[in-house]
Amino acid sequence: MIYVVVALLVWGAQQTLAYDCSAHPWIDEAVQQWFRPSYEVARQSSKTIEESLQAIADIKWGNYSTGKTLVVLWYDASTSEYRLRFEELHKHNEAHKPVGMQRVLERAVRQHNADLVAALGKREMKFIFGTEDFPIVDPNMRLRVPSFQPCTTKGSVDVPVPDHSFELYSQASYTNHSWWEVRRLLLLKAALLPWSHRQRELFVRGDAGVGYRKTLLSILHEARVNGSDLSLFGVHVNAHSTGFYVSNRKHFTFLDNWCQYRYLLHPSGLTYSISLKYKLACGAVVLYFDHKYSEFYYPALKPGVHLLSFPEAPREQFLTDVAPRVKAAILRLEADHPTSPPPQALAAREFAASQLSDESLGCYWYSVLRAYAGLYFTESGAQVPQQVQLGDRNTTLNPTL
């Protein structure tokens, strides 16, 4: 009987106590960074919230209406919970993308329902997310609210949120290709593979026809074919194109096989590249090439701590400047860590394990919704605060509206 009572008390506590987001201190800082441009633009806006949402809904690239979904976060008094309603405004470029993004959002709202009730005061809130590989809102539109997209750029008013690949990523070719299952596999393999047995190669796969890969994979292919890779980089190169959407299966290899390599290259794709989180989970040294497109978690990654960072340089500059830096870094790592993982590899794996968890994504969405509420529940642009508003778990944002 005592056991039953204790079990019920534990269950009840789980229903009322929200997950403690303090384990992810980078989230609020990142959200404030992403929202600063939209707060600045909103202060200059003469539009209403509804006019701003309609303007986002109407965005086109030429004759193409970008894929967008309207989300209504509404309070159900019958259950004392927030619920979500989704309305597709314009067809998404791939049907699975909004489904994957919605699953992450739905789980986040369930995880933080009580917190949202406190922060929003049971009020309804509307927002729009998209699935394009680019930001879509021009700051000159002077909107009161941003849209949510898979990536953003510096100064853009679009706010990045977790993309579809956390739930659905068929290009990985596993029977279950959610991040949660693939991450479990990669973390396990990273832990089981001794560093001394990992291959001393620079490894990369991807479509060589887009982004900086056009430059980098061309150089890597040439070096591999003519045998100059060892003198150029200090280790051999294993770089192949898998074509658009993995259309070339000849050189395809499952993500967990990436964990067999010590050094994983990460050049940009068309914009951002989904593959970064998988490389981190492998517990390898990630050589990241800086580019302007960022996913939501990028501010938490520190060069020299979680990865090694290099510039996207043109071919000649790469050969004369960047390649020697890559070689020096690799030779130093090889000398200092011949049999055990270097700190960057350990930090990368730990980040994927602890900071790209289901709980952390829930915390991120919760913080995003609080920041968005700081814009949504203002009567005019003139009332938008100077600082991004996150409030706290016990404070209702703009309670009089």
The residue ranges of every structural domain in the chain are 28-163+358-381, 171-294+298-354
Please tell me the predicted confidence (pLDDT) of residue 361.
98
Please tell me the predicted confidence (pLDDT) of residue 61.
95
Please tell me the predicted confidence (pLDDT) of residue 294.
97
Please tell me the predicted confidence (pLDDT) of residue 247.
61
Please tell me the predicted confidence (pLDDT) of residue 13.
41
Residue from 60, 33, 58, 271 nearest 155 by CA? 33
CATH number of the 171-294+298-354 domain: 3.40.50
- pTM of the predicted structure, to 2 decimals: 0.92
Please answer whether residues 84 and 152 qualify as being in contact, where contact means their C-beta atoms are separated by less than 8 angstroms.
no
Residue from 281, 295, 98 nearest 189 by CA? 281
DSSP designation for 307: B
Q: Which residues contact 295 (CB under 8 A, 6 or more apart)?
A: 150, 151, 160, 163, 272, 276
Residue from 164, 103, 109, 107 nearest 131 by CA? 164
Residue from 157, 122, 117, 124 nearest 138 by CA? 157
Please tell me the predicted confidence (pLDDT) of residue 376.
98
Please answer whether residues 125 and 372 qualify as being in contact, where contact means their C-beta atoms are separated by less than 8 angstroms.
yes
| β-strands 308-310, 199-206 pairing | unpaired
Q: How far apart are the first and last CA of the chain?
A: 48
Please answer whether residues 271 and 264 qualify as being in contact, where contact means their C-beta atoms are separated by less than 8 angstroms.
no
Q: Which residues contact 334 (CB under 8 A, 6 or more apart)?
A: 200, 234, 235
The gap from C-alpha 281 to its chain's centroid, in whole angstroms, comes to 14
**Cβ burial 301-327 (10 Å sphere, 16+ → b, else e):** beeeebbbebebbeeeebeeebbeebb
What are the average pLDDT values for consecutive 10-residue runs of the chain, which has 401 residues? 42 55 97 98 98 98 97 98 98 96 98 96 98 95 98 96 96 93 98 97 92 95 96 96 71 92 95 96 98 97 98 98 98 98 98 98 98 97 94 60 52
CA 399-372-94 angle, 5° bins: 145
